[in-house]
Amino acid sequence: KILIVDFGSQVTQLIARRVREEKVYSEIVPYQKAAEAFAEMRPKAVILSGGPCSVLDADAPSAPAEIFAAGVPVLGICYGEQTMAVQLGGTVEGGHHREFGRAEVEVVAPSPLFDGVWRTGERYPVWMSHGDRVTRLPEGFTAIATSDNAPIAAIADEARRYYAVQFHLEVIHTPHGAALIRNFVRNIAGCAGDWSMRAFREEAVARIRETVGPGRVICGLSGGVDSAVAAVLIHEALGDQLTCVLVDHGLMRTAEAERVVTMFRESYNIPLVNVDAEALFLGALEGVTDPEQKRKIIGKLFIDVFEAEAKKLADAGGGPADFLAQGTLYPDVIESVSFTGGPSVTIKSHHNVGGLPARMNMKLVEPLRELFKDEVRALGRELGLPEVFVGRHPFPGPGLAIRCPGAVTKEKVEILRKADAIFLEEIRRAGLYDDIWQAFAVLLPVRTVGVMGDGRTYDHVCALRAVTSVDGMTADFYPFDMGFLGAVATRIVNEVQGINRVTYDITSKPPGTIEWE
């Protein structure tokens, strides 16, 4: 077991993910609760995360002294390095050249941390993001790597098995970072590497039972993989204490709702209520053009519908439903919340997180909150969900509403649905579906002039978007062959009334986001 002490970095969950990839169990706790968690969990090693603060601030957060007194290996990353250095008697200074983004380090001494990965005397690319830097080492430490702007880029006290790095080794932009984490977790900390998705499943089931007790749970199904995996997991934990509700907001893709309803009713025998709420959602969205407002309206209506269904269940004698379960994933959380004291700003209010109203009568159960998409897929396979379903592209809770920039109308949604279906059909036919993270059409609130036959047209523009990604946090546009794009464009303009022009979006994330709103 590894304890990860969180100082509020945007990428702390990536540390946990890397540790999971080594088949080792880890838990993340905020630094304020680290002492308690350390005593209870008795981990084999501790990792201190990065964070937005400076150790030079008056009330800078620190790691509990108990951790350093216990004699377990400790790895500090970025802020974690600095607090470790200061707490053990070194010095950190601010005001130097700041380093952000790509940098290079030179390995200056061998270390078990670098074993089999980095050789002494060589330079390697890393991802840096820091202003302060360590200027004097605590006793017992030596520098094991340097960079141009941080003469002390990595340090180690081999006797005590303390390691600290200035760069972020948990992000993919540090190409060998995962291997260095493996060295720490497997070799230095000596963790066995026998944890798996099966273990996650068992732990999650136990946690759900403990949280919910004898209560009743309503699980919102969106038609996508995440909520389906959450529902099947919760069903395993609670059986018929669970009722699934699929809110058809009229903003789904072709045949989306039917497929899920069939799968749940026929293969899983999980009770499912299918609510037709198209008029309610489209009515509330009428004339609304601001993307955040659209997300907030949709988030609130979802809850209204869930609460109404909960009440119906209670009235029917099933007992009150006090919990609402959702398939929220980690990238939804990180992009929706600003961490305590952190610089992380709200990018967009994902409907199953920040889009929820402040006042809600139901408590949330979110068993996938720590996972990334590919991990949810692995869990889905572990739970026996069919591969065609598990491999589906993600689809956002607010649905096609956020793919119709500007005001949403039923007519626009119908046009969009047709274009989207053609695009995906062609992608499947070309055998590209599994190479792409997500592909969809966007209907722009712009009309342009065209000519068809002998006539003038004045219709909407459709943008196509297809991206590759590992976890949805960053993405690249998919490099289709031009002939493929041309064929899709021809089909859309010919077959979809209301669209006379097609464009392809070649923006990566960042600076774009995957969805347009």
From its phi and psi, is residue 399 left (phi > 0), alpha (psi between -120 and 50) or beta? Answer: left
Instruction: Classify residue 241 by its DSSP letter.
Output: G
Pairing of strands 242-248, 216-221: parallel
Rg (the chain; Cα; Å): 25
Per DSSP, the three-state class of 509 is: strand
CA distance 191 to 181: 12
- Closest to ligand XMP by CB, 130 vs 348, is 348
22 versus 335: smaller Cβ distance to ligand XMP: 335
- Scanning residues 320 to 349, which ones bind ligand XMP (CB under 6 A)? 332, 335, 348
Q: What is the pattern of x (binds ligand XMP, CB under 6 A) and - over residues 344-383? A: ----x-xxx-------------------------------
| Helix, strand or coil, per DSSP, at residue 444 | strand
Smallest separation (angstroms) from ligand XMP to the CB of 147: 31
Query: In whole angstroms, how close is the CB of 352 to ligand XMP at the nearest point?
Result: 5
Show Cβ contacts of residue 13 under 8 Å, excluding neighbours closer than 6 positions: 28, 330, 334, 370, 372
Asked if 168 is an active-site residue, the reply is: yes
* Contact of 164 with 132, CB cutoff 8 Å: no
Q: Is 90 in the site for ligand XMP (CB under 6 A)?
A: no
Using CB under 6 A, which residues numbered 436 to 455 contact ligand XMP?
Answer: 438
Q: How far apart are CA 121 and CA 135, in angstroms?
A: 21
450 is in an annotated binding site: no
Site string for ligand XMP, 288-327 (x = CB under 6 A): ----------------------------------------
- Residue 378 annotated as lining a ligand binding site: no
Q: Are strands 272-276 and 242-248 parallel, antiparallel or unpaired?
A: parallel
**Annotated catalytic residue 170:** yes
Binding ligand XMP (rule: CB under 6 A), the pick from 90, 291, 397, 405 is: 397
Active site residue: 81, 99, 168, 256, which one?
Answer: 168
509 binds ligand XMP (CB under 6 A): yes
When asked if residue 252 is in the footprint of ligand XMP (CB under 6 A), the reply is: no
Of 468, 24, 59, 447, nearest in space to 47 by CA: 24
* Per annotation, catalytic residue among 22, 81, 99, 170: 170
Residue type, 407: A
Q: Which of the following is catalytic: 53, 78, 219, 462?
A: 78
From 472, 489, 492, 502, residue interacting with ligand XMP (rule: CB under 6 A): 472
Q: Shortest approach of ligand XMP to residue 516 CB, angstroms?
A: 8
Size of the site for ligand XMP (CB under 6 A): 16
- What is the number of alpha carbons within 13 Å of residue 155 lying toward its C-beta? 29
Buried b (16+ CB within 10 A) or exposed e, 315-325: eeeeeebbbbb
Check: CB of residue 446 under 8 Å from CB of residue 483.
no
CA–CA separation, 119 and 108 (whole Å): 9
Least distance (Å) between residue 351 CB and ligand XMP: 4
CB of 358 to ligand XMP, least distance (A): 17
Q: Which lies closer to ligand XMP via its Cβ, residue 149 or residue 513?
A: 513
Residue 497 dihedral angles phi and psi, to the nearest 5°:
-70, 130
Provide the 8-state DSSP code for 267: I
Of the candidate residues 64, 396, 399, 405, the single one contacting ligand XMP (CB under 6 A) = 396
Span of 139-147, 173-181, 205-213, 396-404 interacting with ligand XMP by CB under 6 A: 396-404
Q: Would residue 351 show up in a list of annotated catalytic residues for this protein?
A: no
- The set of catalytic residues is 78, 168, 170
